[in-house]
Amino acid sequence: MPAELRALGNDVRAADWPVRLAFRSSRTALLDTLCRWQTLRALAYVHLLAARTGDERLPVDLRVVPDPEAAGDPGLPELLARLEKAAAGLPADLLDTVVCDSGGLLADNRFAASVLAAGLTADSRPGDPDEAVSRAVVLTSYWYEVPGLRGALALAWSANLFVRSWLGWSQRFVYGDPAGGIGITSDPRPPRPAASALPEWAAPLLDRIEQGPGAAS
């Protein structure tokens, strides 16, 4: 993996998750948008790693950090469309891995909220401990208090996890341990969650999974 792409992987997992809790519909819709953006962004990064070619704007798009203010930019729909195209161009089995891993959080797991909050908060690279605590508390609270957001949060967490795993494998490969990458997909995966447990914006990803490995990217 080129060094510049590996370095981008540390930035591409970061999103400015909320630090204040509010249950207004506008705020929950905003969090759903941030989850969609981050999920597609992480998956588009994997596409860039795998293909090394594509839309020349993709590396620039990947450097735009999802945050509440940027979510109101009039150019966001076009940016999301480009990210979605790259994400949906991934192999079906890879997308299925990400979706199934999200299902592990959506299953009856009493540690799901803490695992998700810790992962997304750490990936966001908070500036200080207070910011980290605020983000973790807010994400945990949304998980418990707004069940309809769980699918979106789980997908963002799972997409980031796959990027982290890929980067870890790449690092071990560089230092002479190619077998270290086997752990990315060798563990038994949770079953794929029902489409009803996932946000509507996940439909193109699920369609790609259903098309199977023989479909054109």
146-171 residue pLDDT tens: 999 999 999 999 999 999 988 877 66
Instruction: State pTM to two decimals.
Output: 0.90
As a whole number, the mean pLDDT across the chain is 87
5-36 residue pLDDT tens: 878 888 999 999 999 999 999 999 999 999 99
In the chain, the percentage of residues whose pLDDT exceeds 70 is: 88
User: Is residue 101 within 8 Å of residue 161, measured between CB atoms?
Assistant: yes
3-state secondary structure of 20: coil
Other C-beta atoms lying within 10 Å of the C-beta of residue 124: 23
Alpha helices in 52-111 (DSSP H): 58-62, 76-88, 92-106
First to last CA, the chain: 22
